[in-house]
Structure 1
Amino acid sequence: MPSHVFADRPAPQPPERGTVDALITRTRRLRGDVDAVRRDAVTDEDDPQGRWQRALCDLAVHHLDDLSAHLGQLKEGLPQEPRDAFEDEFAEYEADHAQSTGSLLSRVGSAEWNLLTDEVSWSDELYQILGRSPGSGPMTLDELPSIVFAEDQGLLTALVTDCLVDGRPIDGEFRMVRTDGRVRTVHMMGEPVLDADGSTAAMWAVLRDVSELRRSQRAVRETRDSLQRRQHFAQTEHRLAVELQEAVLPPWRGSLQFPLDGEGPTALDVAARYLPSANSALIGGDWYDALQLPGGESLLSVGDLTGHGVSATSAMAMLLGALRGMAVAGIRPGQLMAHLNQLLETSVQPALGSAVCCRYDPASQTLSWAQAGHPAPLLFRNGTGRALTPPDGVLLGARSGAEYEQAEVRLLPGDLLVLHTDCLTRRNAAEEGETDRLLALAPRFAGARDAQECVRTVVETFGEDGREHDACVMVARIGA
């Protein structure tokens, strides 16, 4: 856009119309595509990712609107006949383009303040931007600060001084209050107009209403910051959940022998594995536990709490700590489940859970067990497997004062128990659990060297990668 300072130079010839027309067409097409994405963008206030995407689309639309407007001016080129001051700086948009872009030209106006004659000239667009009636006339440089925010008046004064006193081009932005009370953000670029002696004779400026553009930029910035805070919070919560889970689940790896001080035909060889979900953010409340109890008995348990993250792992830690304490105190599985149900019911963050708790006595080779809405243990013997008949028991936290039955089964040397959470046999919500697939592993279990090899067989069969939900599996073989 040529200024008065360079009025003695020939105006550059605009590019060929065909080239500009092609650019305008491509810009409009791109603008339509972005606008379609914007309409489809999620606008849920609780979704910072969706708000950020919508804000970016808004910002892109504003930039493309302005680009299309500038290309329209470039296409029109400079008028052949001189016009009033600065009208030669702005060509009219094509009628259809003005409608599609919301009359973008009304957001750009021009002004000239003549220091020699005190004359002031405003374009019609500048009156629209500032909400001032043309009948009121333009404002002088002394009057202009009266409609500028008090905090921004110093900036305007500095810009005017730089232009008039130092003879430098100016470029700045400030907020103005229209006569109707609306606040607009205005970007001003200008240059001094020099007379024949090189002295400043006037100041001219182009003022652009960038309120919507800045609003979109601010929305992008705020939603990006909100998303980053959300991501940081999620990463912190995930790290805490992992640390809490690792602190609570049994620290042993590989196989564990019960009793710890020897082997025998009735001893237990125990191995277990936690299978995380593919989405590392979805750390759930699944657990497994094996514990040597006073008197030589052993505790075996697996369970699952609803929810994910720190709330689920903290509730799991509370439940597992209570389970261990009550088992060490000698409370039998049925009554133990009733106490856990009451604990969940009265906790600050109520949750539902399923669990199976087994107490094995090597002296009598008896397994006493109870369950709360959980898959029954699988018993493998002589190359075949079956699910134990479950005693009655509802989900933990589902019903106040619930009672839990207790069952017993005598185990033989060579028997193998498999305890698991219900998501072990399915990788995603669309699949259904298949106990038969676990029972079909009986021949491979029979040929396994130890419980750890059996666990590896289960993991190979049902997959450790790409799981939608986390899961646990525990294998206990009689006769370590």
Structure 2
Amino acid sequence: MPSHVSADPSADQPSPRGTVDSLITQTRRLRGDVDAVRRETSPQDGEQGRWQRALCDLAMHQLNDLDEHLAQLRDGPPPVRPALPGLPAPRAAVPEPARGSLLSRVGSAEWNLLTDEATWSGELFEILGRDPTAPPLTLDELPSLVHADDQRMLTTMVTDCLIDGKPIDGEFRVARADSGLRTVHMMGEPVLDADGSTASMWAVLRDVSELRRSRHAVSETHDSLRRQQHIAQTEHRLAVELQEAVLPPWRGPLRFPHGGPGTLDLAARYLPSSTSALIGGDWYDALELPDGEILLSVGDLTGHGVTVTSGMAMLLGALRGMAVAGARPDELMGWLNQLLDASVQPSLGSAVCCRYRPETRTLVWAQAGHPAPLLFRNGTGCALPPPPGVLLGATTGAVYAQAEETLEPGDLLLLHTDGLVPRRAGIAAQLRLLALAPRFAEADTVQECVDTVVEEFGETEREDDACVLIARVTD
């Protein structure tokens, strides 16, 4: 910062009035736009809302100050007070604005080293919490108002200014009796006499407490968002790893059982949501049981994230264990409902469970609030009539029924979760699936059938995760 002696007088001339008026208009228009955004942002919107509001508050503080400073530039400097004896005329003090305006946070001071006199603007008394009728503090007395941790820093800044001629630009905290700690930004410079010696020090002090609080709020919410993002990424990775650990790692069609009549060719696919990065609780499964029957199941546990994925893994493990023990599909649904109902974190789920007997080509199945399997035969398709069954976890002691269907060689069975198509599509979604019957009939493998479903539904804006499992009866 140049001294008063070396300052270029032409630099003190304000910009042309018309240009400044234009800047003021633009600033106020921008301030109105920012204020509109701030009013639309609620702190109740979570961390993202608090982050946005803190940024808006910070921008409003800065735009308000800019508006006031531009008004000063337009109106020109106030009358300059007389110089202290033996010193060149100081810069104009900051004008005394109306109480409550943003510029009421700005004051000025000058300390004469020759006479040990101090001159403060009236607003500086307000900023520092001093009685305006009391004499202004000298440079030696000024640190008494400052927080103990900042006193050494202030003393160093003042010493460097007076001895080495360094400009002051720093902040310190003031302990006010009426409003606690306030943060003050001080900018100052030495005033030189005719011999080039430091004769006084001039400074502008600004109360930046609200600005610092806004920046602190921005910093805190930013850190909080980063922590939440890290947690979300970690949870997503854990959910993916857990899902991959429990779902069959099929990379092509499977053939169950290993020989005998009524063999099933199977293929399946998990389709993530196209509107969410979170992993859901959808599953598909096929398992050859000890008695030679084949277990087929698909299901969906409501929600997303690690908790839901771990709940899905628990249900699938229980389903497999009970099926190996010989439980019928209706019994499986009842026990899964009891398991969800007794969980520490109750939730809802839907499922279809089938047991297929290869010797008789018989399918016995039950459902719990889930879309029925679709049966495709001779180039046409239909939904199997569903037996009664409510959502898993919806009611204590729910009883489930089961249905039986005899399949024929070449029949194709399609099981899917309801996230495959948008819920709002309703019956139209099922009709779209049934309309794939001619293409299924022309397919050489069940993997081609799965690819057909993915081609038809995989690229749409699905609202949820989805699973599709297709089984075809061979000779």
Q: TM-score, normalised by structure 1?
A: 0.92
Tell me how far apart the structure 2 counterparts of residues 73 and 370 of structure 1 sit (CA, whole Å): 80
**Contact map agreement 2:113 2:200 (CA 8 A) in 1:** yes
Q: 2:461 aligns with which of 444, 461, 466?
A: 466
1:92 to partner: Cα distance: 6.5
1:380 to partner: Cα distance: 1.8
**Contact map agreement 1:287 1:316 (CA 8 A) in 2:** yes
Instruction: Say whether residues 1:115 and 2:113 are aligned partners.
Output: yes
Deviations 1:3-42 (A, max 9, x none): 5344685654322111111111111111111111111113
How does 1:196-235 map onto structure 2 within 5 Å?
196-235=194-233
**Contact map agreement 1:14 1:77 (CA 8 A) in 2:** yes
After superposition, the Cα gap between the structure-2 partners of 1:32 and 1:184, relative to the gap in structure 1 and judged at 3 Å, is same
**Contact map agreement 2:420 2:462 (CA 8 A) in 1:** no
Deviations 1:127-175 (A, max 9, x none): 1212322111211222222221111111111112112233321111000
Q: Please state whether the residue corresponding to 1:395 is helix, strand or coil.
A: coil
Equivalent residue for 2:74? Answer: 75
Q: Please state whether the residue corresponding to 1:397 is helix, strand or coil.
A: coil
Equivalent residue for 2:58? Answer: 59
Equivalent residue for 2:39? Answer: 39
**Contact map agreement 2:105 2:208 (CA 8 A) in 1:** yes
1:91 to partner: Cα distance: 4.8
**Contact map agreement 1:42 1:50 (CA 8 A) in 2:** yes
Instruction: Say whether residues 1:437 and 2:436 are aligned partners.
Output: no
**Contact map agreement 1:281 1:309 (CA 8 A) in 2:** no
User: Which amino acid in structure 1 is aligned with residue 223 of structure 2?
Assistant: D
Tell me how far apart the structure 2 counterparts of residues 8 and 268 of structure 1 sit (CA, whole Å): 93
Q: TM-score, normalised by structure 2?
A: 0.93
User: Which amino acid in structure 2 is aligned with residue 4 of structure 1?
Assistant: H
**Contact map agreement 1:87 1:123 (CA 8 A) in 2:** no
1:282 to partner: Cα distance: 3.0
1:218 to partner: Cα distance: 0.8
**Contact map agreement 1:192 1:201 (CA 8 A) in 2:** yes
Q: Please state whether the residue corresponding to 1:171 is helix, strand or coil.
A: strand
Tell me how far apart the structure 2 counterparts of residues 216 and 122 of structure 1 sit (CA, whole Å): 28
How does 1:37-436 map onto structure 2 within 5 Å?
37-44=37-44, 47-79=46-78, 82-84=80-82, 88-91=92-95, 103-259=101-257, 261-262=258-259, 265-426=261-422, 429-433=423-427, 434-436=429-431
After superposition, the Cα gap between the structure-2 partners of 1:395 and 1:82, relative to the gap in structure 1 and judged at 3 Å, is closer
Deviations 1:324-355 (A, max 9, x none): 11112222211122211111112222111110
1:69 to partner: Cα distance: 2.1
The root-mean-square deviation of aligned C-alpha atoms, in Å, is 2.1
1:207 to partner: Cα distance: 0.5
Tell me how far apart the structure 1 counterparts of residues 67 and 172 of structure 2 sit (CA, whole Å): 25
**Contact map agreement 2:65 2:103 (CA 8 A) in 1:** no
After superposition, the Cα gap between the structure-2 partners of 1:83 and 1:380, relative to the gap in structure 1 and judged at 3 Å, is same
Q: Please state whether the residue corresponding to 1:221 is helix, strand or coil.
A: helix
Tell me how far apart the structure 1 counterparts of residues 307 and 341 of structure 2 sit (CA, whole Å): 15
**Contact map agreement 2:340 2:393 (CA 8 A) in 1:** yes
**Contact map agreement 1:130 1:179 (CA 8 A) in 2:** no
Tell me how far apart the structure 2 counterparts of residues 92 and 148 of structure 1 sit (CA, whole Å): 24
Equivalent residue for 2:87? Answer: none
User: Which amino acid in structure 1 is aligned with residue 466 of structure 2?
Assistant: A
Deviations 1:280-332 (A, max 9, x none): 42321111101111132111000011110111111000100111111122222
Deviations 1:246-276 (A, max 9, x none): 11111112211111x33x6511011111111
1:423 to partner: Cα distance: 2.5
Q: Which moved more, 1:399-408 or 1:55-64?
A: 399-408
Say how many residue pairs are matched. Answer: 468
User: Which amino acid in structure 2 is aligned with residue 57 of structure 1?
Assistant: C
Equivalent residue for 2:16? Answer: 16
After superposition, the Cα gap between the structure-2 partners of 1:10 and 1:333, relative to the gap in structure 1 and judged at 3 Å, is closer
User: Which amino acid in structure 2 is aligned with residue 195 of structure 1?
Assistant: D
Q: Which moved more, 1:447-456 or 1:9-18?
A: 9-18
1:216 to partner: Cα distance: 0.9
Tell me how far apart the structure 1 counterparts of residues 2 and 19 of structure 2 sit (CA, whole Å): 21
Counting aligned pairs with the same residue, the percent is 72
Q: Which moved more, 1:341-350 or 1:431-440?
A: 431-440
Tell me how far apart the structure 2 counterparts of residues 352 and 12 of structure 1 sit (CA, whole Å): 73
User: Which amino acid in structure 2 is aligned with residue 88 of structure 1?
Assistant: A
Q: Which moved more, 1:282-291 or 1:432-441?
A: 432-441
User: Which amino acid in structure 2 is aligned with residue 210 of structure 1?
Assistant: V
**Contact map agreement 2:282 2:300 (CA 8 A) in 1:** yes
Unmatched segments (≥5 aa) in structure 2:
84-89
**Contact map agreement 1:380 1:386 (CA 8 A) in 2:** yes
Q: Please state whether the residue corresponding to 2:420 is helix, strand or coil.
A: coil
1:2 to partner: Cα distance: 7.8
1:359 to partner: Cα distance: 0.6
Equivalent residue for 2:86? Answer: none
Tell me how far apart the structure 2 counterparts of residues 3 and 67 of structure 1 sit (CA, whole Å): 25
1:378 to partner: Cα distance: 1.5
